[in-house]
Amino acid sequence: MLPEKIKNRGTPVAETETDKPLLFSPMTIGGVTLKNRVVISPMCQYSAHDGLANDWHNVHLGQYALGGSALVFCEAAAVEERGRITHGDLGIWSADHAAALKPVVSFLKAHGASPGMQIAHAGRKASMQRPWQGHGPLDDSDAARGEVAWDIVAPSAQPVNDTSLMPHDLSVAEIQSVQQAFADAAGYTDEAGFEVLEIHSAHGYLSHTFLSPMSNHRNDAYGGDRAGRMRFTLETVEKVRAVWPAHKPLFVRISSVDGVDGGWDLDDSVVLTDEMKSRGVDVVDCSSGGIAGMATTTRDPLPLGFRLPLSDRIRRDNDIATMTHGLIVHAEQAEEILQTDQADLIGIAREALYNPYWARHAAQTLGADPDFADWPDQYGWWLTRREAHLKSIGVR
């Protein structure tokens, strides 16, 4: 028998099936039921044109639905043009952007996956080169190929580091304009047919920089103490939740810790989560780092599941569903996380780039689909026969 899951965790209600591993039991959040607990985390592809999705996004995201994941998030989509990290970032600031994403949404739904959108603003990490083009601020070489730099914004006029662009500190009126852009993006996301929405408030992007004392040096209502620094994020949640339909789940991704002395810490995240929960957030996506560089940059090797203590603490202290990710590579590892109540959802990212069928293979490993019954008919019909042959010759 599987252990009974905690039911009173905000809006989410977990439904367990005693004949299946928890990884492949459904979970209902609001009016959306996920068929299992495998989530494809947002992964920037830097392949859009003017923020518009194209064939790359259709194929890249569609493969994860065929691969058996229950919830497939698009990459971070900028809520306004200047909120992109690079010229190749996805956007969701107009009806045209919503229309370009409708084929992705349609395919995901047709093949059993719930489509998810992450809305974001890069803040002081905007106007950058694609990673494979240097990963630094846009310069003359980029301008020569038609990708010019643009002015960037932040809570305070402080760059990420000594080699980064200097941002403009936002006025209160500009803050309200950006928050409205998040709300508008939520409307376009709903228009496109997405079922789950996530606000990006992590990894050193705009919302996170309001939260962290390392990057927010304001002395007005949007700075100062923790309550002031949380104000931008909490107001943004309120504005988005007012637009995003009540039956559709709202996630927020946070950097649960900055990982630097004097930065945002886990105690801060517990307080923030409590405030977000009261404003209608259903799931906290527990990430970390990024305030002064890349979110996974470290001098020391990171262990498998290195963010688990973050989701575990926030889940228990706030009685809210959490999603964890960060070097989760094995089916047994993911199942143990769920069995020990350290998280409710398992985010897979780079491992899914390596193996888009991670969820299908995990189901095989855990015995949840031994007969390929859950595979698309176009694949399963062949695989059952191949498997029988492999067994007959002693390979299986």
pLDDT tens for each residue of 232-265 = 999 999 999 999 999 999 999 999 999 999 999 9
Best CA proximity match to 357, nearest among 339, 383, 392: 383
Whether pLDDT at 8 is above 50: no
pLDDT of residue 70: 98
- Per-residue confidence band for 14, with pLDDT thresholds at 50, 70 and 90: very low
What average pLDDT score do residues 200-219 get? 98
Task: Determine the pLDDT at residue 255.
Answer: 98
Q: What is the pLDDT of residue 296?
A: 59
Among this protein's residues, is 205 annotated catalytic? yes
- The per-residue pLDDT for range 86-118, each reduced to its tens digit, is 999 999 999 999 999 999 999 999 999 999 999
- In this predicted structure, what is the pLDDT of residue 6? 35
Q: Give residue 299's pLDDT.
A: 62
Q: What is the pLDDT of residues 267-309, one digit of tens each?
A: 999 999 999 999 999 999 999 999 987 765 556 789 999 999 9
Which helix (H) or strand (E) segment holds residue 346: the answer is strand 345-348
Supply the pLDDT for residue 368: 97
Residue type, 352: A
pLDDT at 1: 30
pLDDT at 2 over 50: no
Query: Exposure of 392 by Cβ count < 10 A (0-12 exposed, 13-18 middle, 19+ buried)?
Result: exposed
Neighbours of 3 (CB within 10 A): 11
For domain 13-365, give the fold.
Answer: TIM Barrel (3.20.20)
Average pLDDT for 121-148:
96
pLDDT, position 19: 72
Asked if the model's pLDDT at residue 16 lies above 70, the reply is no
pLDDT of the residue at 3: 34
DSSP states of 354-389 as a string?
H-TTHHHHHHHHTTS-TT-TTS-HHHHHHHHHHHHH
Query: pLDDT averaged over the chain?
Result: 94
Which structure tokens are listed for 272?
A: 């923030």
CA atoms within 13 A on the CB side of 248: 22
Whether 74 and 104 have beta carbons less than 8 Å apart is answered as yes
- Residue ranges of domains in the chain: 13-365
Q: How confident is the model at residue 30 (pLDDT cuts 50, 70, 90)?
A: very high
> CA–CA separation, 61 vs 88, rounded Å?
16
Asked if residue 12 has pLDDT above 50, the reply is no
HSE-up of residue 36 (Cα within 13 Å, Cβ side): 30
Q: CB neighbours (10 Å) of residue 204?
A: 24
- Residue 203 predicted with pLDDT over 60: yes
Cβ-Cβ contacts under 8 Å for 296 (sequence gap 6 or more): 289, 302, 326
Q: Would you say 73 and 41 are in contact if contact means Cβ atoms under 8 Å apart?
A: yes
The confidence score (pLDDT) of residue 11 equals: 42
The pLDDT, as a whole number, for residue 339 is 98
Out of 46, 188, 205, 357, which one is annotated catalytic? 205
Q: Is 168 helix (H, G, I), strand (E, B) or coil?
A: strand
Q: Which two tokens stand for residue 196?
A: 């789950």
Per-residue DSSP letter, 12: -
Across the range 111-139, mean pLDDT stands at 97
Digit-coded pLDDT (tens) for 311-345? 999 999 999 999 999 999 999 999 999 999 999 99
Q: State pLDDT tens for residues 66-87.
A: 999 999 999 999 999 999 999 9
Question: Measured on CA atoms in the order 220, 221, 227, 232, is the torsion positive or negative?
Answer: negative
